[in-house]
Chain A
Amino acid sequence: MARALTPLHDVELVALAAGGDRGAFGELVRRHGSAVRVTLRRMGAQPALADDLAQDAFLQAFERCAEFRGEGAFVGWVKRIAARLYLKRIRHNARYVAELEGEPEPGAWGVDAGGRLDLDEALKALPEAERLCVSLCHGAGLTHAEIATTLGLPLGTVKSHVKRGLDRLRARLEPHPQGARHVR
């Protein structure tokens, strides 16, 4: 008998998924798949890698559904799983970590063609380390300590990256009545 999963709350779907209901979990993937993929892309993952890691994160989440206590949003929980997978991936890439001070992408301004605030564009304008730390902290909800431990960076460095990155984001996303302006 076909069940209507759409009206169910995430917590109800997770409970069904914990019992092995792949259909219920599929509904969760349908609802939150894009959010997890976008979060990974915001951290700096290339789209293909972001998609692979997002799939892995959802598969892990399915295996660990019984651990989800419903204290926060399901999507936040999966984002944290995905972020940890991404950190694990880049931690093994010593060159990447060494080059975390990389330059931002040229031409990124933080305001889209229609003059709307565009977080993704603004993030691209940040130096790599700041973009990663801000996205991990505010996009995926990881703590500074967890980021520092996983990346092998001093805690103070991570905090500095987050603070500087947020300052730059605020400056870039500040509404300007005269239209798009860039502050660096």
Chain B
Amino acid sequence: MSADEFDPGIERLFAETPRLPDAELFHAEVQARLARGGRVRAAVLAAAGTLGGLVAVRELAVINLRFAPNSATLQAGAGPDGGLTAVAGRAGVEATRALEQAGLGGVFGDAMSGSLGGASVFIAAGLAISLLAVAAMRLLQEA
């Protein structure tokens, strides 16, 4: 804007805005939308965190199975930490079954055995845990 276009009188008139009669209604609508947005975000973050957590559990189960000396470990719980291994293994199997029942087992199975390596899954799990923490914080703020 060139200097000769600047007009203090015009600027002042533009700066003067009347208070509209339904200002309180507008304020209430914005507040409602803010609250709604916060709830939706928390729900999305919580869902993402839950999903990521399931992926992490499944990956743990896969690792456990890979390192088990044989399949009997899962059933008998042999060795000093066999009981823990067996429990973890069973939890993994159950999680895998739950994912498959939800129609997600194939997707995650493909991802883990495909181009995505174990490191990627761990990164995803880490991100998921972070998201879950953020979601929990948001929910606490909302409470």
Q: Which residues of A contact B (CB under 8 A)?
A: 20, 22, 25-26, 29-30, 33-35, 37-39, 42, 51, 54-55, 58-59, 62, 117, 119, 135, 137-139, 143-144, 162-163, 166, 169-170, 173
Contact = CB atoms under 8 A, between A and B. Distances in A.
A163 B6 CA distance: 10
Given A29-B27, A34-B17, A55-B29, A22 B34 contact: yes
Nearest to A141: B14
Given A30-B24, A35-B17, A54-B26, 10 more contacts: A22-B35, A33-B23, A37-B26, A38-B20, A55-B29, A55-B33, A58-B30, A62-B34, A119-B14, A143-B1
Contacts of B38: 22
Contacts of A139: 14
Contacts of B33: 55, 59
Interface residues of B, number: 26
List 4 tightest A-B contacts by C-beta distance, closest first. Answer: A35-B17, A38-B17, A119-B13, A34-B20
Given A34-B18, A51-B26, A166 B13 contact: no
Interface of B: 1, 5, 7, 9-11, 13-14, 16-20, 23-24, 26-27, 29-31, 33-35, 37-38, 141
Nearest to A39: B17
Nearest to A162: B5
Contact of A137 (B1, B35, B37): B1
A169 B10 contact: yes
B27 A30 contact: yes
Given A59-B37, A169-B10, A170-B10, A163 B5 contact: yes
Contact of B5 (A39, A58, A117, A166): A166
A10 to B, nearest CB: 15
B141 A20 contact: yes
Nearest to A42: B14
Contact of A26 (B9, B19, B27, B37): B27
Contacts of B14: 39, 42, 119, 135, 138-139
Contacts of A38: 17-18, 20
A33 B35 contact: no
19 contacts: A22-B34, A22-B35, A30-B23, A30-B27, A33-B20, A33-B27, A34-B26, A35-B17, A38-B20, A39-B14, A55-B30, A59-B33, A59-B34, A119-B13, A138-B10, A143-B1, A162-B1, A173-B9, A173-B13
Given A39-B17, A163-B5, A26 B10 contact: no
A20 B143 CA distance: 13
Q: In this complex, which of B10, B14, B27, B35 has the most chain A Cβ atoms within 10 angstroms of its Cβ?
A: B14
